[in-house]
Amino acid sequence: MFNRRRIVTLISTLTAILIFSSCTQKSSQNYLFGEDLDKAAKIFSTRPQNQENGILILNLSQPALLSALKTDKLKNVIDEDLSKAIQDEQNAVIAQLKQLNPEILVFYRYKMVLNALAIAAPIKDLEKIQSIPGVMMVKKSQNFQRPQTFESTSTDLQENITKNNSALFIGAKAALDKNIKGQNIKVGIIDTGIDYTHSMLGGSGDSADYKKINPNEPSSQFPNAKVVGGVDFVGTQYDSGSDTFSRRIPMKDANPIDEAGHGTHVAGTVAGIGDGVQSYNGVASSAVLYALKVFGAEGSTSDEVVIAALEYAADPNGDEILDDKLDVVNLSLGSLFGSPKILYNLAIKNLTLGGTVVVCSAGNSGDLEYIVGAPSVSDEALSVAASVDSMDHNWKFKAVSIQLADKSVILTEAVESSMTKKIASIDQLQGKLIYAGTANKDYSSEEAALIKDHVALIDRGEVTFAEKINRAQAAGAIGVVVVNNQDGNAFTMGGDGSFKIPAIMITKELGSKIKESMQAGDVVINFKVDKQIEKPDLIDTVTDFSSRGPRSEDSLIKPEISAPGMNIISAGMGKGKEAVQMSGTSMSGPHIAGVMALMKQYYPELSVAELKSVVMGTSKSMVDQDGHAYPIARVGAGRVQIDKALNATLASETSSLSFGEVRIDQQKRMLKSLSIKNLKPNDVSLQAIFEGNSALTMDPVNVSLTARGQQKVDLRFT
């Protein structure tokens, strides 16, 4: 039997609640970019592609600089002796590598978050590389797939977005009222780049300016007042998963323009400036952004590149003076069933020791245990699930009406395909439903005659949605209704293609009712009705796609917090002033990155761990549509509340208490300790309360904290 992760709540007499869910030193950033990086791609492009080469990360014996910081006048400073030791060790290892095989190339030299080298080398040399003095560990680089989102459509707003939007929903107004907008806070977007020509991101707002940009050359439009720095770590042609090895070699350039759209949308949510018509302000609208581009125009990225971005975040100008470190970095990327990769765990831990908050999206793989993605599962990363906010498009839905043979009318949600003509663009459209099977092959002339000028009712399965719609359109159908072949909700049908007729999906249950009625007479669908279907119980629920935890290796609590990630409106790459909607934990993560920028400004004295505890401890408990509390592994501590976090009473270096998986053969006693800090200028009294089932109990604990005081608390469980 395994015990489950629990929540411990300390309730203050002031009604505050804290939830604990279960030689010559280089002075340039050029040090990071290894001496072989610029020539590597050209070299490998001339080599036989069938030669077995690999990209390796070599962790060396000296500790990373951020792991051994010194303090001078209350500021973190680099140990100069350690810095020299790291450089000497790296130089010695590189000399050994070149002696072993001159074809070995050095891409990156990490010293801040890791003491490591990223190299390209023939796999046949692996064993010899591992035996080089100073090399403690060799890891083959692994890939991160390009971030996936659900839907990417232009906005069709029916509401005042200055009064109701995802940032206001999580309490951003409370920060605005205190003039906390992220001023002087630096946020790194480790992603596909940023479209700095977009009006939300300091650009002209003229889409023609985006089209003029050569992504491989510097641009006069970058940097600007909003996107103040950054670098393209990889180049346009980079794809870490390519069969052509030369394309797997990163080629740095100075232009981090977005060529995919994902990073631009993310950046807008963190710190964009909206126009109040098509778009709204990001969570921390006065923060400045750094575009850390780790993806090419297509394909995936890899460990050594992402770690290079983390290294950059620790010291952007590379002078080993930490006053320019980034305050927050956002990583809306990941891999499935994330295990705490030792190098990521170490790199993120060290980056947080330097004072940078690392926010990671949990992933979009749904309600499957242990599927939460890396690097969000790293110990110090703040892992973010996706929830639903209160914007109208998330709970007020366009409807279609279906008149059955007995003249009764059913109203159902118009769940439109992303490939088809939008119902909103049609004045009127109604027609008789004609059952058309699964559309797994082209319709005969006789079948097409029956479908022509009517609406095809097609079952899901056997072929793609695009094939079904294409065949119906070719047969003369004026619309398509696809019946789900699985129990549960209808969903947006995606795929390749663009069709001139509308198409929606309906549930299996409704499809059965329609088919039965068709036996008795005509069934007619009206795509344009002046009614909506309202589902307010969807607000503050977790999205279906949000990845569930806990961490696969040891059941550590991940994700840790939730934020809006459904149909989020933000900047559209190459669109000038236009906004687009996207869904995914890629969208919820940037909300939290913005929140942490606000927290960094408001609580400058708190550590990264303490800031995590503040936002987690003041989050809102979440329930599903039936009112049942979500498991911690689904939503973490709950949905972030900026207003509550700005009024927090308590902070702790421990933001969650995780028992992991504990096999219980007999009654056991377990001890968890944490240090609690009082953020208020007055004394507080606390009582620890355990919320869970009777299989686990906790001894009563009472705590008194003096004003601004701190105390260790022992929690004993049976």
Residue closest to 171 by CA, chosen among 505, 582, 647, 708: 647
| DSSP letter assigned to residue 245 | G
Contact indicator for 151, 575 with CB cutoff of 8 Å? no
| Rounded distance between C-alpha atoms, residue 282 and residue 330, angstroms | 14
Q: CATH: 3.50.30.30, 3.40.720.10, 3.30.70.1050, 3.40.50.300. Which one for 396-534?
A: 3.50.30.30
Where along the chain do its domains lie? 7-22+668-717, 29-140, 151-392+539-645, 396-534
- Cα four-point dihedral sign 155, 160, 161, 167: negative
Query: 670 burial class (0-12, 13-18, 19+ CB within 10 angstroms)?
Result: middle
Quick one: tokens of 124? 């046949």
Please give the CATH topology (third level) of the domain spanning 151-392+539-645. Answer: Rossmann fold (3.40.50)
Strand, coil or helix: what is 710?
Answer: strand
pLDDT at 11: 28
Cα 442 to chain centroid distance, Å, stands at: 41
- Are 151-392+539-645 and 396-534 in the same CATH fold? no
Strands 561-564 and 568-571: unpaired
pLDDT at 246: 85
Q: What is the DSSP string of 313-343?
A: HH-TT-SS-GGG--SEEEE---BSS----HH
ω into residue 316 within 30 of 0, thus cis? no
Strands 684-691 and 7-12: antiparallel
* pTM (predicted TM-score): 0.88
- Mean pLDDT, consecutive 10-residue stretches, the chain (718 aa), reads 35 30 44 75 54 90 96 86 98 97 94 97 94 96 83 57 95 98 98 98 98 96 98 96 89 95 98 95 99 96 96 96 97 75 90 97 91 90 97 92 96 93 92 97 96 98 96 97 93 90 97 97 95 94 93 88 96 96 96 99 97 97 94 95 97 79 69 88 87 76 90 83
Strands 455-459 and 479-483: parallel
